Structure 1
Amino acid sequence: MTVETVAYSGAILNTPACILGEGPTYDPHTGTAWWFDILGCKLVEYVLASDTATIHDLPEMGSVLARVDGERQVIATETGLHLRDIASGKLELITPIEADNTITRSNDGRVHACGALWFGTMGKKAEPGAGAIYHVARGVVATLFPDISIPNAICFSPDGSIAYFTDTADGRLMRVAIDPATALPVSEPMVFFDHRGGDGGLDGAVCDQDGVIWNARWGPGCVDAYSPEGKRIISLKVPAGKTTCPAFVGPNADRLLVTSASEGMSAEQLASDPGAGSTFLLEHPVKGRFEPDYIL
């Protein structure tokens, strides 16, 4: 199957560049996108309609945010899940996860339609096998997949019966059947797409209404679409080499917001990649879905 390559068309958002932009999500109740600068310990609050951003300092590295209700959010950090009061920004640790492990931090994650959260941890220096992927439901934590180096691409099929994930260091996008009522696996993971030996690394992903997976590829600067059958069908170019994660945004969830990183880049590399760390809104239309709320 031929992969359709689409030239970049979009806008750079009016937000500061990130060292490691990650974890974008969108709240349709307020028209607000949220994402993290993990290494900068920042949380970005961005209002699409006005193209304005508010930057919130965090006491530690965070990477995943989910809405709980109109007043509260939950965020995953290097010590576990924190309840965040939206008005004040106050954080309360509610579910410690690897809180005593100073080597690791949180990385990619997403809420399932049942209200459970999948999220991963990794070594702060990407130490091999230092992390894991967890399932958290109403405060109960289960380890799904241990010995993960760089957890990414966590997302779910529209009917909630399939979960996808990758260990970027391994290079294979995996799929696993799950119980739609609990988001717990009911089988062993299988290879969905083998990217080993390919250009760049598989990073964050979202799954649209048709079951198409939109995955950011770290390195070549693009967001790739994979059919439900596991075929790469579209590659959207993004003017930042280290693209990290897409999110469906807008009143109809029909646009892609994409974060990126400047982590580890020299002055010469930054000069040749001026979009590094910026956040982009792509013009290419998509059939996205809004994220479900996390249930406490």
Structure 2
Amino acid sequence: MIMEANLVTLSNYKAILGEGPVYDKDLNRLYWVDIEGKKIIINDLNTGTETFYDMPDLVSSLCVIDDKRVIATIRHAFYIVDLSKNSLQKVAEVETEIESNRFNDGKCDKLGRYWAGTMNMTERKPTGNFYKLEGNKIVKVLEGLTISNGLGWDIEDKVMYLIDTPTRKVFMFDFDLQRGEIYNKKIAVDFGNEPGNPDGMAVDEEGFIWVAHWGGGKVSRWNPRNGKKVFEIKVPATYVTSVTFGTPEMNYVFISTAGKSQDPLAGKLFTTRVDVRGLPNYRFKIT
């Protein structure tokens, strides 16, 4: 089923590889990154203004700390970025000896831990890993990923979802929020004959997961309890990278894309109202 959606472009900025949209409810701002453009972009939904900040290297994901600071994955490390001063502070670093790896997608859980994975930039070898940053302590959680990608949690924080893009599957794990541990890997969604590969994702308050189709030109909504697709939203860009929920009512989706196709709007950030509310993004907790 195709859902009729009145998608509009939120961004003036056109990304090379737009990714990782994060909505902060306290500030009513939408943050996202251009990985290959090496930029953090902020759309202020109160004023309609758009601001972007140059980063020193490939920036792939971020979590908000407060109104002036974010923490971002940049190449091999987590950095606290003070946007008011344009300064960076390295928190933790991994895999500096693996030049073909870089950080990819990441998110914070409800207790403020930052979970982020790495990927093989040739996209062919399982050299990627999945990490948890708690304060300034980093722990490797999983090994053997090729492109660690979209992640999220169910509404009760008892399940974590994680995508390894070349497998064309969304995996699910039992999640212990208090301990910050995952167990019992299973398949939640198999993309099967779907066009494109699964990329970024979000979860709504009904427990359904929304997945961006890299190379498939759409976002699809799935029931992880039976692995069935509910509907899809067509996007006017072939390479759809991620999706998140936002606005104070949490009933809009924000969809990032890459400018790697001939589509006129490729690389733009899109938004539309939907009939379900999403789960919030969380801030990083400095301990």
Q: Which residue of 1 aligns with 2:198?
A: 202
The aligned runs of 1:167-178 (5 Å cut-off) are 167-178=164-175
Aligned residue among 80, 84, 87 for 1:83: 80
Q: Which residue of 1 aligns with 2:230?
A: 233
In 2: Cα distance, 1:59 partner to 1:111 partner: 23
Q: Which residue of 2 aligns with 1:42?
A: 39
Aligned residue among 210, 215, 218 for 1:214: 210
In 1: Cα distance, 2:217 partner to 2:268 partner: 12
The CA RMSD over aligned residues, in Å, is: 1.6
Aligned residue among 154, 159, 171 for 1:157: 154
Residue 18 of structure 1, CA deviation: 0.7
Q: Give the letter for the 2:158 counterpart.
A: S
In 2: Cα distance, 1:11 partner to 1:83 partner: 32
The worse-fitting range, judged by mean Cα deviation, of 92-101 and 202-211 is 92-101
Q: Which residue of 2 aligns with 1:179?
A: 176
Question: Aligned pair 1:284/2:267, yes or no?
Answer: no
Residue 61 of structure 1, CA deviation: 0.7
| Secondary structure at 2:167 match in 1 | coil
Q: Give the letter for the 1:262 counterpart.
A: G
Q: Which residue of 1 aligns with 2:15?
A: 18
Q: Give the letter for the 1:249 counterpart.
A: G
Q: Which residue of 2 aligns with 1:139?
A: 136
Residue 20 of structure 1, CA deviation: 0.6
| Secondary structure at 2:166 match in 1 | coil
Residue 123 of structure 1, CA deviation: 2.2
Question: Aligned pair 1:60/2:57, yes or no?
Answer: yes
In 1: Cα distance, 2:157 partner to 2:180 partner: 7
Q: Give the letter for the 2:198 counterpart.
A: L
Residue 289 of structure 1, CA deviation: 2.3
Residue 205 of structure 1, CA deviation: 0.5
Aligned residue among 161, 166, 175 for 2:163: 166
Question: 1:8–1:239: 8 Å Cα contact kept in structure 2?
Answer: no
Residue 153 of structure 1, CA deviation: 2.0
Q: Give the letter for the 2:207 counterpart.
A: G
Q: Which residue of 2 aligns with 1:193?
A: 189
**TM-score (ref. length: structure 1):** 0.91
Question: 2:53–2:83: 8 Å Cα contact kept in structure 1?
Answer: no
Residue 140 of structure 1, CA deviation: 2.0
Residue 100 of structure 1, CA deviation: 4.1
**TM-score (ref. length: structure 2):** 0.94
